[in-house]
A and B are shown apart, each in its own frame.
Chain A
Amino acid sequence: MALTGQPPKEINLNQKLASITGMLGLTVLLLASFGVNFQNKGLWLTVSLGMITAGILWFSYEQYKGKSAGIKNDGVWFKSLTNLGFWGWIAGLSITTFYFILYFFPKYLGLVEGGDNKGVIALFDPLSKALSGNPASQWFVYGALYTIAILAFGIKFMWKYRHNRYERLRTMSVMFFQTAFAFIIPELMARLNGTSVLNGGSLPYYDLKNIWPLNYYNFEGYRIKGFLSSGDIGFAMLIFGIVSIFVITPFLTYKYGKRWYCSWVCGCGGLAETAGDSFRQLSDKTVKAWNVERWIIHSVIVFVTLMTTAVIYSYLGNDSSKYWLTKSTFLIGVAALLTAVFAWVMLFKRDQLKKDAQYGAIGYFVIIISLILIHFYSGEGNVFLFKSGALRKNYSFLIGSIFSGVIGTGFYPIFGNRAWCRFGCPMAGIMGFQQRLFSKFRITTNGGQCISCGNCSTYCEMGIDVRAYAQKGENIVRSSCVGCGICSAVCPRGVLKLENGPLEGRIDSNQVLLGNDVDLMNLVNQK
């Protein structure tokens, strides 16, 4: 092949310098992890984070300067970082390694239980103390780097899509929610712990936009104790946590689809859309992948529901005179709620589910209800057939750490940037049900303008074969769609529009290929 030359795929000199700048910033962190003791920690931390940010911004400037506003996907499939090549695998392995250490071996980052931090965690102590008054933890280091990634790559993303106001606005939104809600507010809240504002109580670390079941630990015993011990504020936060599941989420998803969360608010989504944007084309679009996706994500939903029920059950009492919510009331309540949702879907939305989805729904429903029945007939002790602690531990390990972190983010350059959101996130799964069955959101296909080019499908991070619908003139109403809007942006013929409209005629399976005379279209639509 070398005879004829290759397409250009090199980055320019300034981009190399920018990369080196960013790498030097990272090197400071790496040196700290390997035990180099920086004297002036505040200064070195500033230098390091500043160089990382500057490197990313400089690189982006070099990439987009002097180019007219428009789609910037030239050469995406020629670059080894973004086409599953050598650098893609190197990047994937590096991030994965970081996650392994973060989750399972934080002592190598310098975490010292009950003593002064060392290593890179100690380097972050000044920032942590400035915010919360406490020394840093591995989670603080992670949170800070995460926020910087969303901010710096967010600016890059807005540059790249500067002609597209939808993309710019939602990126500003995720940048705001990450910085304020996920990073700064919880740290500042920590300053209130033990003060009279909280009646001397102590709140758990709470990112208010992080809703169950993404926030699978929100209703664990120690957190409930924390909330209830912290006066009116604590109680309000607990109520907010419950209201956001049963009221806020369904209402906003009905009005706007799940994109209000996944593409405008969520931190996982925020990182995927900014730092992960360069890898969106790597998601698998085959029908096979779609089948795997449905089984995995729905199994995770069943898992998290069982686990949460078990955890709450385990700390409730049996005596209704002490507290109205007892073990039995709670379980009966869960069963009643699931039955109500299941009955509603089967009665009113049955025809919108395909056969296998119906079987799946029935299967899962039977499992959960039978577990609850087994419990009532098998005496006290365990919850269902399991120990609640073991369920929780396994969920936290398998889903919370391995799936969302190591695979979900570590494998951005391998599986694409939304592998976690697509295959694993139970929150996305539940909102997906609702988006498919009861929401005003859809992607409208513009009559007969589709030329089947495939840009939409290729750049769909959720692996939806958008073209399969567009070329038939069908609207796209898929539970997994996070509403990032990129399919619409990359379409060269103006075919796709994300919009909220009437429920009537939303799932339009007629092949309305405008341009043909009406008689023919009636015939084509006859099965």
Chain B
Amino acid sequence: MENIVIIGNGIAGISAARHIRKLSDKRIVIVSAETDYFFSRTALMYVYMGHMKFEHIQPYENWFWEKNRIDLVRGYVNKVDTENKQLLLDGSRALHYDKLIIATGSKPNKFGWPGQDLHGVQGLYSKQDLDMLEINAPNKEVCKRAVIVGGGLIGIELAEMLRSREIPVTFLVREDSFWNGVLPNGESQLINEHILEHHIDLRLGTNLKEIVADAHGRVKSIIIQETGEEIPCDMVGLTAGVTPNVGFLQDSGIELGRGIKVNRFLETNVKDVYAIGDCAEQHEPIGNRRPIEAVWYTGRMMGETVAQTICGNKLEYKPGHWFNSAKFLDIEYQTYGWVFSERGKKEEEQHFHWRHATEKLCITMAYHKDSNLFLGINTFGIRMRHEIFDRWLTEGRSADYVMEHLADANFDPEFFKHHEKAIISAYNKEMGKSLKPKKKSLKRIFQLT
């Protein structure tokens, strides 16, 4: 029987294992140094905040793995010996494979800041990071102030976590507005305001110069590059992005860039070795996507795709329309299609932005300035129906069509206030048009004939 070994029990590796099991009887072994069982990495924050216990963020009950004949091995892979098709575990144990899937995810970026390895300095990615946070910042008495370096998704999540225990937080963001390399200005501004509402000391356009140690090698304070200001703190969170976790592959003969180089079949340069999820790097970016996609959903899709290939149905990784979501403190964010920030967008991409007068709600729609073709939408505080936007993108609908039918796409809970009228009237005003909003139609939504 063929022996499939998967390194990493995150969403990519687990999706691969589940689908290989669905399709075949092959022996499946998953190796992880992090935890015994699969858990939802994106939910780690809720454990610290007390919304859930760690066991709740494990999507499958513990009997699931044995029942599905998926062997779980706890261990750290030191070396991959591609010549002999073997893994070296914890320096001694050897594990043979016929086919190897590498799904080792990422690790937090460190940019060589002085003091970045002190006690009390940490990232937020793994279960170990969560355990570390319980030691570094269990409450506001032990941690009188925390400083977070890096204004992205993990940074704002860490800020929310610490605030849930009323720990004062200073949030250093390199950009002049939160996450504005990704978000258009109007949205970025909305989040800036919301961060302040949560009593987070937001410092925009601010870089870290160094982290200062006390006599015991613990963090004592940080110094800001621009002003030289020293901020006393007991914990520093480094959340300036992540980088593929591929250090153990240095001498394996597997081609590496920033991540593990793969082709569209998720194959590496070495036969029978595949890479999926955060750690995989496409030779050529697919469409507007980045060559490395550190996103939950893409990890899952790659896992499903590689399972097909391994089970004899060789398949290209062909992700459909881009989508993503996040939550910034109390504000939910969803995106469908492509909406680039002012910094990243091409000349033909134009934006229509609407923001509610008083509540923290806004949308940004991107469209082609000549053809009016709908390119994508970002929504804040309004939920949208994935299926509808996916359909509209496939059908190549115009921005006007999307505006007229926006009620079909709304996914807010029942009885929520609707804003389609306000949005379309703002659109009409800006474009000099006179579109009328269409009523929500179950017939259109569910494609009934």
Contacts and interface: CB of A to CB of B under 8 A. Distances in A.
Interface string A27-48: 0000000000000000000000
A517 to B, nearest CB: 4
Interface in B19-60: 19, 40, 42-43, 46, 49-53, 56-59
B61 A68 contact: no
A93 interface: no
A77 to B, nearest CB: 5
A219 B323 CA distance: 56
Interface string A1-16: 0001111100000000
A453 B387 contact: no
Most A CB contacts (10 A, CB to CB) among B134, B197, B414, B417 go to B414
B300 A513 contact: yes
A502 interface: yes
A512 B11 CA distance: 17
User: Could you say which of A7, A453, A502, A505 has the most chain B C-beta atoms within 10 Å of its C-beta?
Assistant: A453
A70 B329 CA distance: 9
Contacts of A241: none
B319 interface: yes
Contacts of B413: 164-166, 485, 488-489, 497-498
- Counting contact residues on chain A (CB < 8 A from B), the size range is 35 or more
Contact of A286 (B11, B61, B165, B414): B61
Contacts of A380: none
Interface stretch (A124-132, A202-210, A299-307, A442-450): A442-450
Interface string A353-381: 00000000000000000000000000000
A492 interface: yes
Contact of B42 (A451, A485, A497, A518): A451
A382 to B, nearest CB: 46
B57 A494 contact: no
Contacts of B313: 523
A446 B308 contact: no
A471 B59 contact: yes
B308 A76 contact: no
B449 to A, nearest CB: 10
Interface stretch (B137-145, B216-224, B423-431): B137-145
A492 B327 contact: yes
Of B298, B305, B313, most buried by chain A (CB within 10 Å of CB) is: B305
A52 to B, nearest CB: 28
B56 A458 contact: yes
Interface in A412-463: 444, 446-449, 451-455, 457-458
Nearest to B198: A68
Nearest to A489: B413
Binding site of A, secondary structure by majority: helix, strand, loop or mixed? loop
Contacts of A212: none
B380 to A, nearest CB: 11
B301 interface: yes
A515 interface: yes
A524 interface: yes
A311 B448 CA distance: 48
B386 A446 contact: yes
Interface in A233-254: none
Interface string B146-178: 000000000000000000111000000000000
Contact of B385 (A78, A446, A518): A446
A73 B387 CA distance: 30
A451 B296 contact: yes
Interface in A58-107: 68-71, 73-78
A232 interface: no
B59 A468 contact: yes
Given A457-B56, A467-B59, A516-B319, A74 B49 contact: yes
Nearest to B390: A514
B290 to A, nearest CB: 15
B395 to A, nearest CB: 14
A163 B361 CA distance: 12
Nearest to B51: A73
Contacts of B326: 493
A215 B149 CA distance: 60
Contacts of B356: none
A164 B383 CA distance: 13
Interface in B397-421: 411-417
- In this complex, the member of A77, A454, A498 whose beta carbon has the largest number of chain B beta carbons within 10 angstroms is A454
B51 A166 contact: no
Contacts of A505: 446
Contacts of B50: 7, 73-78
Contacts of B56: 454, 457-458
Nearest to A447: B386
A73 B49 CA distance: 8
Contact of B135 (A4, A454, A494): A4
A497 B387 CA distance: 13
A458 B61 CA distance: 13
Interface in B292-308: 296-298, 300-301, 304-305, 308
Contacts of B383: 446, 494, 497
Nearest to B50: A75
B315 A520 contact: yes
Interface string A477-518: 000000001001110111001110110110000001111111
A455 to B, nearest CB: 6
B305 to A, nearest CB: 6
A501 B445 CA distance: 10
B318 interface: yes
Contacts of B296: 451
A70 B328 CA distance: 11
Interface string B110-152: 0000000000000000000000001100111110000000000
B43 A454 contact: yes
B321 interface: yes
B166 A8 contact: yes
B43 A74 contact: no
B51 A448 contact: no
Given A446-B411, A517-B319, A524-B304, A455 B446 contact: no
Nearest to B321: A515
A75 B49 contact: yes
B334 A165 contact: no
B330 A454 contact: no
Contact of A516 (B318, B322, B327, B414): B318
A390 interface: no
B144 to A, nearest CB: 12
B446 A501 contact: yes
B442 interface: yes
Contacts of A497: 383, 411-414
Contacts of B42: 451-453
B247 interface: no
B301 to A, nearest CB: 5
Contacts of A8: 139-140, 165-166
Interface in B329-347: 329-330, 332, 334
Contact of B386 (A74, A449, A451): A449
Nearest to B305: A520
For the complex of A and B, list the 3 residue pairs with the smallest distance between their C-beta atoms, beginning with the closest.
Answer: A447-B386, A70-B330, A453-B43
19 contacts: A68-B197, A71-B330, A164-B413, A286-B61, A453-B43, A453-B46, A458-B56, A488-B413, A489-B413, A493-B327, A494-B383, A501-B445, A502-B448, A512-B387, A513-B304, A515-B320, A516-B318, A516-B320, A524-B304
Interface of A: 4-8, 68-71, 73-78, 163-166, 169, 286-287, 444, 446-449, 451-455, 457-458, 467-468, 471, 485, 488-490, 492-494, 497-499, 501-502, 504-505, 512-520, 523-524
Interface of B: 11, 19, 40, 42-43, 46, 49-53, 56-59, 61, 134-135, 138-142, 164-166, 197-198, 296-298, 300-301, 304-305, 308, 313, 315, 318-323, 325-327, 329-330, 332, 334, 383-387, 390, 411-417, 442, 445-446, 448
Given A493-B325, A504-B448, 6 more contacts: A74-B50, A452-B43, A455-B46, A494-B384, A513-B301, A524-B19
